[in-house]
Structure 1
Amino acid sequence: MTPQAVIFDIGNVLIEWQPERYFDAAIGPARSRAMFAQVDIHAMMDRIDAGADFAAEVARTAAAQPEYAAEILHFRDHWCEIAQPAIAHSARLMAALRARRIPVFALSNFGAQNFPLSAAQFPFLRQFDRAYISGEMGLIKPDPAIYAAVEADCGLSPGALLFTDDREDNIMAAAARGWQVHHFTGAAGLAERLVAANLLTREEAV
């Protein structure tokens, strides 16, 4: 079946999410490695993505880890420096799909308060036909309930959806519901998949 809508994850698909890289530059590789070894930053982000208040959760985590409190607060105070840059080729693919009038959705584990910060920084994040943001939904990938909620809202059958995500567990959960999927490892691979699905020409997918 030719997909009727393309669904993009955001982190590491449309914008880079490599917080370790930011902290290596900001505080030095040695202290950065020590912080990530001691503080479960990714668990903090999972709580935010699942609906916890962004600023309050960062502050709570900082208070619980006083040795790295100043560094942890960078997530609140320097979010737009951490969650960047845009993945330019992916953004072009999204624009090319929209130019073809192919519906483009987002399905992303992202906090309700920090997503608007990134959308202000990268205006193409405001251009989805539908944006399914986990922190707003109170659901998080790869919980099957979040995929069911997308299906119910968009009204398309699972087989009509083509979903790309950088995490294999998220892809597998979507595939289990019958979605078409693409494991994102780079924009060039996604471009090839969109061409193979007859959604874009090779010229449009550059």
Structure 2
Amino acid sequence: MNEIRHIVFDIGKVLIHYDPDIPFSRLIPDAEMRKWFFDNVCTGAWNIEQDRGRTWQEAEALLIAEHPDHAENIRNFRRHWHEMVPHAYEDSVVLMERLIADGHDVTMLTNFAADTFAEARSRFPFLQKPRGVTVSGEIGLIKPDHAIYDHHARAFGLEPAATLFIDDSQKNVDGAKTAGWQAVLFTDAPTLKFDLKALGIAV
């Protein structure tokens, strides 16, 4: 296994919390109705297209045409997005900041809409600390597409075999490995610390 010279962090559910249920448990109090709304209206497949670069205006118009009775809650998804990201995972942030302080090359690769990422970056200053970031919504590519890993490696001069990717999604971890990277699945900060140590990186 190659020595790791580059470390790449995902952001959502690795460095900051994300949960659409936080505002929608108030907006749609009935659990079954809320589940139906996420399964049939503001679905994961719909939301990921904003991560690919589709504007919220386009996304809302598409759904409102299909589900006019749910227009208000369709708009509420973006309107209340800030509530979906209430806090950072401080123990993960500490690990990332230690890696940077110790001289490791740290960047970030995230599926994120361009405008919501700008908002997150203003709210969470630690997102400014790594050397740089690839935001899917800014380049029109999403994980686990092979092309986004290649793009990130080119943009930041990374050698894929010497790059470690940290992500909470198994399919994104697998995508990184397919692109020739090393990768670990994030579950929590203590496990990540253990995984890093096993790879020869003490934090």
TM-score normalized with structure 1 length: 0.89
Match 1:42 to one of 44, 52, 59: 44
1:39-118 residue pairs with structure 2 within 5 A?
A: 39-118=41-120
- Give the aligned partner of residue 143 of structure 2: 141
Whole-Å separation in 1 of the counterparts to 2:65 and 2:189: 39
Could you give the per-residue CA deviations for residues 180-205 of structure 1, whole angstroms, max 9, x where no partner exists? 1001122221111122223224xxxx
Deviation at 1:115, TM superposition (A): 0.5
Whole-Å separation in 2 of the counterparts to 1:191 and 1:128: 18
Q: Secondary structure at the match of 1:85?
A: coil
Letter in structure 1 aligned against 2:10: D
- Give the aligned partner of residue 161 of structure 1: 163
Deviation at 1:55, TM superposition (A): 4.3
Whole-Å separation in 2 of the counterparts to 1:67 and 1:76: 17
Could you give the per-residue CA deviations for residues 136-157 of structure 1, whole angstroms, max 9, x where no partner exists? 1111111111111112122221
Whole-Å separation in 1 of the counterparts to 2:5 and 2:122: 28
Q: Secondary structure at the match of 1:73?
A: helix
Question: Are the aligned partners of 1:96 and 1:200 in contact in 2 as well (CA < 8 Å)?
Answer: no
Whole-Å separation in 2 of the counterparts to 1:83 and 1:13: 12
Deviation at 1:33, TM superposition (A): 1.7
Deviation at 1:94, TM superposition (A): 0.9
RMSD of equivalent CA atoms: 1.7
Whole-Å separation in 1 of the counterparts to 2:90 and 2:169: 20
Deviation at 1:40, TM superposition (A): 4.2
- Give the aligned partner of residue 10 of structure 1: 11
**C-alpha spacing 1:197/1:19, structure 2 compared with 1 (3 Å):** same
TM-score normalized with structure 2 length: 0.90
Deviation at 1:65, TM superposition (A): 2.0
- Give the aligned partner of residue 204 of structure 1: none
| Structure 2 gap segments, 5+ residues each | none
Letter in structure 1 aligned against 2:152: V
Deviation at 1:96, TM superposition (A): 0.8
Q: Secondary structure at the match of 2:114?
A: coil
Whole-Å separation in 1 of the counterparts to 2:138 and 2:114: 5
**C-alpha spacing 1:163/1:64, structure 2 compared with 1 (3 Å):** same
Whole-Å separation in 2 of the counterparts to 1:6 and 1:90: 13
* Sequence identity (%): 36
Question: Are the aligned partners of 1:8 and 1:106 in contact in 2 as well (CA < 8 Å)?
Answer: yes
Match 1:190 to one of 166, 174, 192: 192
Whole-Å separation in 2 of the counterparts to 1:7 and 1:54: 28
Whole-Å separation in 1 of the counterparts to 2:66 and 2:5: 46
Letter in structure 1 aligned against 2:53: G
Whole-Å separation in 2 of the counterparts to 1:116 and 1:178: 29
| Structure 1 gap segments, 5+ residues each | 202-206
The count of corresponding residues between Structure 1 and Structure 2 is: 201
Question: Are the aligned partners of 2:109 and 2:135 in contact in 1 as well (CA < 8 Å)?
Answer: yes
Deviation at 1:63, TM superposition (A): 4.6
